[in-house]
Amino acid sequence: MVTHRRPLLALLAVSLALAAACDKVPLLAPTGSVITLFPVTTTVSLNSEVTIIATVIENGSAPAGTGAGSGTTTTTRTGAGTPVQNGTLITFTTTIGRIEPSEARTHNGQVSVKLITGSTSGSATVTAYSGGASAQITNLKIGTAAAKTVGVTTIPQSLGASGGTVQVVASVTDEGGSALSGVPVTFSTDKGSISPSTVTTDGSGTATAALTTTATAKITAAVGALTGTATVTVNARSLTAFTAAPSSASAGVPISFTVTPAVGANISNVHVDFGDGFGTELGAIGAPTTVPHIYNASGNYTATATARDSSGDSGTLSTSVIIGSLPVTLTAPSTVTVNTPANFVVGGIGSAQIDHYTWTFDDGTGPFTTTAPQLTHTFSSKGAKNVQVDVFGVGGGKVGTASTRVEVQ
């Protein structure tokens, strides 16, 4: 009996060894299988995670379309489309971050893994494969690559004359309008200082910094190449008033502009722009200063006064003036006869400052120029005659025109 049991025991040991060896061989997707990948979202924050679901179908067909959220496969065979055997091993790789677990076994033809991101931004490619089947997600945006908009606001949006500190808030969203957390935002400003210069967005997708400035400042928030801006206004601190007198007048009438500096302001220069293409420099002023200006054409004008000190522009004030046409009139004698001098007189000048008058007659003479608002003219023939006078202001522009018709007897 002893001699017969030994072969049986040896055969049993070999069978157990083979079974153990077979158990160590992974079960892979059979030929003709199709893997499809579905990320829960196509954008991911830095230092976070996103779930990726893979479905594996035997004798299935690949879904139409590729790109973000769509699986691609080396197999396009159509068939029954049944889930692969439970326990089929699927292996995952990624170009950014890591997959946990990197290998997973199917249950009802499906596995679920997580992509864990770190501090690297970009578009990740996630690959799943088993046997001869594979699939990829090629446009999974991570970190700054996922940002679509950067909105910037300040609290408050303006400061008093001495400046101060405001809170700067940047909001980062993806292309779907969802907040992006864990994204670094870099702040900069053209005036003052901002701290901290780099802030990572919180769970609500916002990053907050503080701006301190004594002048109107533009703030820029950058996420990669994407930027957003906001402006904090600081009220003018060097000028207290800028007025025009009168605020409405006719062309050619002098307007007096008065610039009033703030008490103790260290102004190196004030530039006055009259709004009609002309301007002047007042230089350093320490008291109210008046400068005259004449508008040579009708219209509504906005004049500005900009004060500068050692730090640059300190502030600008503006005022408006309304200029109408000069109501010029032309008076002729009641009776005009041939070869008899006739005196023509311009009226309606008022306080306008006039440089000269240009007279035009349709009797073949002239034109004539005078500096006085009158002209004596002799007609050499009878009939109806037209007379026109153009009035020019000190600046050289035409400020008014008048005409009349006389019957020469």
Domain assignment present for residue 10? The answer is: no
Whether the per-residue pLDDT at 310 is higher than 80: the answer is no
Whether the per-residue pLDDT at 76 is higher than 80: the answer is no
* Distant-in-sequence, close-in-space partners of 385: CB < 8 Å, separation ≥ 6: 336, 361, 362, 363, 379, 405, 406, 407, 408
Assess whether 47 and 118 both reside in one domain.
yes
Assess whether 357 and 379 both reside in one domain.
yes
Assess whether 247 and 274 both reside in one domain.
yes
Domain assignment present for residue 23? The answer is: no
Domain assignment present for residue 172? The answer is: yes
Domain assignment present for residue 2? The answer is: no
Alpha-carbon gap, residue 153 to 310, rounded angstroms: 29
Assess whether 182 and 264 both reside in one domain.
no
Share of the chain above pLDDT 90, in %: 59
Provide the domain count of the chain.
4
Domain range enclosing 130? 34-144
CATH classification of the domain holding 152? 2.60.40.10
Alpha-carbon gap, residue 302 to 240, rounded angstroms: 17
Pick from 317, 378, 31, 14: which is nearest to 161 by CA?
A: 317
Q: What is the overall mean pLDDT for the chain?
A: 86
Alpha-carbon gap, residue 341 to 323, rounded angstroms: 37
Alpha-carbon gap, residue 70 to 36, rounded angstroms: 7
Q: Looking at 17-26, 166-175, 353-362, which range is the least confident one?
A: 17-26
Assess whether 40 and 122 both reside in one domain.
yes
Assess whether 319 and 395 both reside in one domain.
no
- Read off the pLDDT band of 79 (50, 70, 90): very low
Q: In the structure encoding, which two tokens stand for residue 379, read together?
A: 């007609």
Q: In the structure encoding, which two tokens stand for residue 181, read together?
A: 């957390």
Assess whether 378 and 399 both reside in one domain.
yes
Assess whether 358 and 275 both reside in one domain.
no
Share of the chain above pLDDT 70, in %: 87
Assess whether 95 and 167 both reside in one domain.
no
Domain assignment present for residue 402? The answer is: yes
Q: Looking at 18-27, 82-91, 175-184, which range is the least confident one?
A: 18-27
**Of 290, 324, 358, which residue is a domain's last?**
324
**Of 234, 260, 278, which residue is a domain's last?**
234
Assess whether 172 and 132 both reside in one domain.
no
Q: What is the mean pLDDT of residues 301-312?
A: 82
Whole-model pTM: value is 0.47
Assess whether 310 and 356 both reside in one domain.
no
**Of 144, 159, 183, which residue is a domain's last?**
144
Assess whether 340 and 292 both reside in one domain.
no
Domain assignment present for residue 26? The answer is: no
Domain assignment present for residue 127? The answer is: yes
Domain assignment present for residue 114? The answer is: yes
pLDDT at 236: 57
